[in-house]
Structure 1
Amino acid sequence: MRERGTIAEARGRPPVVPMLGRWGLSPHADLIYRSLTLLGPASRQQLVRQLGVAPSRIGQALDELAAVGAIRPSYRGREGEWSAVDPDAVLARVRRRRSPVVISDQYRRHLALVADLRLEEVPAVAVRRLPTRTAARRRIADLAAAERREHLAINTEDVISAAAAAAASPLDRALVARGVRLRTLGLAPRDGGPDRTLTAGAEHRQVETLPLKLMIFDRRSALFPADPTNFDAGAIEIDEPDTVAHLTQLFYRIWDAAGDPRSLEVLPIMLTSREQSIVSLLAAGLSEEAVAAELGVSRRTVAYALRALMDRLGVENRFQLALVLGAAKAVPLPPTTRPTEEES
Structure 2
Amino acid sequence: MANEKLGEALRFLGIGPEAVLVYRRLLELGPAPLSAVGAAAGLEGVELAAAYGELVDSGLASGAGQGPDLAAPVPPAAGLEILGRRRAAELDASRLTVGSAFESFRRQRLAGYHDPLVEIVTGDAIGPRMRQAWASAREQIRQLDSPPYFPVEGATDDALATLARGVTQRVVYSRESLEHPGQLEHSIEPVVEAGEQARVLPSVPVKLVIIDDAYALVSLSIKETDVYTTMLVVQPCGLLSALVALFEQAWQNALPFHGRSARPAGLPPADRRLLRLLAAGASDDVIAREIGVSRRTLFRRVQVLMARLGATSRFQMALQAQRSGWL
> Relative contact order (alpha carbons < 8 A, sep ≥ 6): 1 or 2 greater?
2
Name whichever structure is richer in helix by fraction: 2
Q: Which has the larger radius of gyration?
A: 1
* TM-score relative to the length of structure 1: 0.42
